[in-house]
Structure 1
């Protein structure tokens, strides 16, 4: 009997690693075509003009600040950890199946949509792992559209697309342990002053430019529920030192009204309430990127609190890697079971 081949694809947005305009231009254009076009109809000629403007702006800002994105390097490490974790769980993997674990990206090579064409030819099934906790048309929805374009109706028996990470209680526990482990031994844990915590997440569209609910799935409700779950768990933890916790959304400006609970608003409210220190933790991202370790962190540092601390994303935490491997393992076994069910319905020769 022929052994099957499955691919696990760990996918995220992707940001340029080598800072050049030549690298930034195609990335900016893909962002406009894949994400922005869902909420604003951008004429083709404007795509190039806007993308060129964004590229030049990022190039100047990143060059002057010395910033270099770590997103892809982190995603590669997460992919390697997942590969290693799955290899140690061989007895629990589907029988007669070889597993490859690969990384892919929406906006930089290797592009997910290009990779899917090859995977369809060479593999019997794939599990797509979007590396962001809250699903929406702008996150794992991008992968969903690419899978649908590549596989069509065959996707139901060939592809598993993971989602709803935000609702997993085990992930919440890992997040809380990660947060307090990064603060252990710091002045925050000893302080008796009023302290605030900003949980940073990508914002989303609330109303379009006509004042109507967006026509695409934005994940707005899921974003709010995720925050409430995390806030409650942190506040109830015996290690908690925070007086209050606020959502801090990183918004775009195109398309209409975005989430109002911004990072800037959270910091200003903590200032008005007399907080002496603020911690920032980007819980809405699995890996640090320019929105977290550059933009959000800069907002925190410029706020001028006597005490401030940026806690990195979960990144390549071993606990997170083990949790993710368990989730992927279940998806691989479900994919195998689905395919066996389909095969049992095929006419016998």
Structure 2
């Protein structure tokens, strides 16, 4: 939170919440972060007696060093990209919402969500609008943020924004960022919308995530006036052996190269800020997959991060949510 926001001591705050990040691109820091993340029962729904021995005995010792190397490839001067961009987005939002305090927190890692909520309460905040930076709702993302907010003692009264998958301002900002990328870099033969994956069983059990990813894509396709043959939707970041949402991003890129497509643009509308999954997995790893399969170039279109259009869209969303909260309480 900015110094001016703290000095003003408003009674309402806006809290941006992102997934989280290691504190450093080192194996011990990554192990702590992944340990917290993968211990969340909303993320991995396996009984602790079965999961924890595997997690702490096998997965974390093997993955931490490997993942730390990936983080080192994308680390910024001010920290991890996700941490830096989330912090900058909160700072960009503050002058657009001068009558409220604007802060940010992480679901895993620092700044920790419960501590931030108690800090706001100590500063005189009575109400906090929590905005998880996940446009599409899933129990594994927004759902676990909402559960932790509710379980935090000493927190102000809170309202959690459930989703903004088809919010007009957000759609416009993403579409404009794609157009700007095309203007600066040229346009590929296909546009691939890549969303973070989710186990199929969660969707089968009623999680609305897939439907909202498809709704976001439909709105962006409409805004960009794309023909059916000009775009595809896929899911990335599979983990474990169970069935996940498909088609997979890497498999889709291989198939496109096999069909003779030589240039592809990839955008990740499920991510508000660039992170390991966009900068390393997509822009580096999957770009190499496409070229190795016969493609010429895969160009990654960055997330909105702290772009003015992103801050404008979220500020408008916040004002609508706060108005709805006020009306509901009246």
TM-score relative to the length of structure 1? 0.80
Cα distance in 2 between the residues matched to 1:36 and 1:247: 25
CA contact (8 A) 1:205 1:256 kept: yes
The answer to whether the Cα contact below 8 Å between 1:113 and 1:146 also exists between their aligned partners in 2 is yes
Change (3 A) 1:171 1:4: closer
**Alignment counterpart, residue 203 of structure 1, candidates 177, 197, 200:** 197
C-alpha contact 1:285 1:313 (8 A) present in aligned 2: yes
Tell me, yes or no, if the aligned pair for 1:204 and 1:218 is still in contact at 8 Å.
no
Q: Hey, what does 1:20 align to over in structure 2?
A: 26
Give the TM-score normalised by structure 2: 0.84
| Selected match of 1:45 from 48, 53, 70 | 53
- Change in Cα spacing, 1:219 to 1:37, as seen in structure 2 (3 Å) is closer
2:152 aligns with 150
Kindly indicate whether residue 104 of structure 2 is the aligned counterpart of residue 103 of structure 1: yes
Task: Give, in angstroms, the shift of residue 32 of structure 1.
Answer: 1.0
Q: Residues 130-149 of structure 1 correspond to what in structure 2 (within 5 A)?
A: 130-149=132-151
* 1:234 aligns with one of 220, 224, 248: 224
Provide the C-alpha distance between the structure 2 equivalents of 1:70 and 1:35, rounded to a whole number of angstroms: 26
Higher-Rg structure is 1
Alignment-derived partner of residue 287 in structure 2: 300
1:39 touches 1:255 (CA, 8 Å); kept in 2? no
- 1:30 Cα deviation after fit: 0.8
Once the two structures are superposed, residues 311-349 of structure 1 have per-residue CA deviations (whole angstroms, 9 ceiling, x without a partner) of 10111111111111111122233434445x3xxxxxxxx
Partner of 2:129: 127
Where structure 2 has 5 or more consecutive residues not aligned to the other structure, the ranges are: 1-8
Structure 2 vs 1, CA of residues 233 and 130 (structure 1 numbering), >3 Å: closer, same or farther? same
Who is 1:213 aligned against? 204
Which ranges of structure 1 fall in alignment gaps of 5 or more residues? 91-98, 189-193, 342-349
The Cα offsets for residues 20-67 of structure 1, whole Å up to 9 and x where unpaired, read as: 22321221111111256542224333332233332122124444xx33
Q: Is the 8 A contact 2:27 2:64 kept in 1?
A: yes
SS of equivalent to 1:314: coil
Supply the distance in 2 between the matched residues of 1:277 and 1:37 (Cα, whole angstroms).
35
d(CA) in 2 for partners of 1:222, 1:35: 23
In the TM superposition, 1:46-195 aligns within 5 A as 46-49=54-57, 50-63=59-72, 66-68=73-75, 69-87=80-98, 90=99, 99-120=100-121, 122-150=124-152, 158-188=157-187, 195=189
Q: Is 2:299 aligned against 1:309?
A: yes
How many pairs are equivalent? 310
> C-alpha displacement at 1:151, in angstroms?
5.9
Task: Report which stretch shifted further, 310-319 or 142-151.
Answer: 142-151
Structure 2 distance, partners of 1:16, 1:320, is: 25
What CA distance in whole angstroms lies between the structure 2 residues aligned with 1:253 and 1:185?
35
Deviates more, 1:297-306 or 1:68-77: 297-306
CA deviation digits over 1:100-122, x for unaligned, max 9?
11110012111112323444554
